[in-house]
Amino acid sequence: MQTKNKGMSMVALILAGEAIFLLPFIQMRIFKPVIREAFLITDAQIGEAQALYGVTALLSYFFGGFIADKWEPKKLLSISLFLTAIGGFSMVLIPSIFTLKILYAFWGFSTILLFWASLIKATRQWGNKHNQGLSFGLLDGGRGFFAALIGLFGASILTYFFPEKGLEVTYSNKVETLQFIIGANTIIVFLVALLVWKALPKDPIQFETGTAFHFDFKTAFSLMKKKKVIFHSLIIFCAYSSYKLTEVYGTYAKDVWKYSLEEATYFAVFIQLLRPIAAILVGWIADKYIPSKIIIPSFAVLIVTSTILGFGFFNTQAVFLSFLVFIFMALGTYSLRGLYFAIIEEAKTPIQMTGTLVGVISVAGFTPDIFMSLFMGYMLGENPTLIEYQHLFTTFTIIPIIGLLAALGFRKSISKL
């Protein structure tokens, strides 16, 4: 593949990889304070909607892996983006809580079944065995930069629509602003679907091994029994749980630091801007060493930062100290996101079975889609204070500890390969 075409392919993969989650998740992560008040919905109800997403996504991960090994990414990614964008029209209407839950269940199917394993396989094919860290770092870092741009765009809409400081932000202000944001995001997803259809090659990128792949259920299910796959699933499970936790960063700023809706949104956008820095830099470093080794200190950072927030070590100090803790927590989280699929190459899985492997490890690895938002919602309650957030971070500390142990287990399991 020519360098120009290869570069355009990565751009398409980056935009597709983030646009697909723009409506169900990125909006919620950046604009959650506004969404709660425009939809008249609690964190727990948001968690219930996202739990339904997790249930349909769980089934889609498994079967989507098989599909990715059979059909080309160009078609699968484009169809997924198109279906997801259709759901955006429903959300623009600010539907009832019941309808919102149905919509999230639909998105669990549309964003995963034809999409996820295909995206990971295409990214692995884009690189080679010596630069998987950079390939996946570019993917996730680029996705993070795209999400941050969307966030800045949305935050500027808040500034434009909301009245000047000192004047009351009415319910109609919030609804009108949110409808504009959701509508704009829906159009973006449609446009990315068209770009993917045009930019990606018609046939999958070929690797050195051009052998045909014949799917074998027995071989696929045997992957589940391998220690390296079990540990890999646990790594993703813990890293993705950490990523889901970023949804409360903006609400923490509003509820604890007493930021305004606008200020809390800009804080969430700032956190998103750390994602491309962490993912690309750590991906480049990982290729100089070994990706699975870099995962270990990343989990260690999460253990330390969640402990600090959970036990309130800086509660009596200036806000900027807690601000710094959130920065380090975000850097640890985004480093893991850039690496947890880069270690596929270390496990020596044949390229022809990449989709199947991704499907298998994603079934367990992404179960936080079912419970994490529910967990956060019920831990925080309807009117969270500093105490509820402390309880949340204290309990969460268990997850990166498990992730650290899983990373050490993965290293041991591949040592004889």
Cα–Cα dist 151/155, whole Å? 6
Contact 351, 223 (CB under 8 A): no
pLDDT at 34: 85
Give the CA angle between residues 275, 89, 270 to the nearest 5°. Answer: 20
Q: How confident is the model at residue 306 (pLDDT cuts 50, 70, 90)?
A: very high
| pLDDT at 106 > cutoff 80 | yes
| CB-CB contact of 50 with 374 (8 Å) | yes
For residue 220, the model assigns a pLDDT of 64
pLDDT (tens digit per residue) in 49-71: 988 998 999 889 888 877 887 88
**pLDDT tens digits, 217-251:** 666 677 777 889 899 999 999 999 999 999 899 88
Report pLDDT for 212: 47
Nearest CA among 389, 369, 402 for reference residue 60:
369
Q: Using one digit for the tens of pLDDT, what is the confidence trace for 147-156?
A: 888 878 877 8
Name the more confident of 299 and 176.
Answer: 299
Across 106-120, 204-218, 220-234, 329-343, least confident range: 204-218
3-state secondary structure of 181: helix
In order of start, what are the domains of the chain with their CATH numbers? 3-203+218-413 (1.20.1250.20)
pTM here is: 0.77
Instruction: Say whether pLDDT at 405 is over 90.
Output: yes
Nearest to 61 by CA among 414, 372, 370: 370
The pLDDT tens digits for 80-96 are 999 999 999 999 999 99
Contact 268, 250 (CB under 8 A): yes
Are 253 and 267 spatial neighbours (Cβ–Cβ below 8 Å)?
Answer: yes
CA 182/CA 87 separation, integer angstroms: 11
Greatest Cα pair distance, the chain, in angstroms, is: 67
Check whether 142 has a pLDDT greater than 90: no
Cα distances (angstroms) measured from residue 159 to each of 28, 162, 177, 202, 261? 18, 6, 10, 43, 10
Mean pLDDT score, 136-142: 83
Q: Is the pLDDT of residue 157 over 80?
A: no
Percentage above 90 pLDDT, the chain? 39
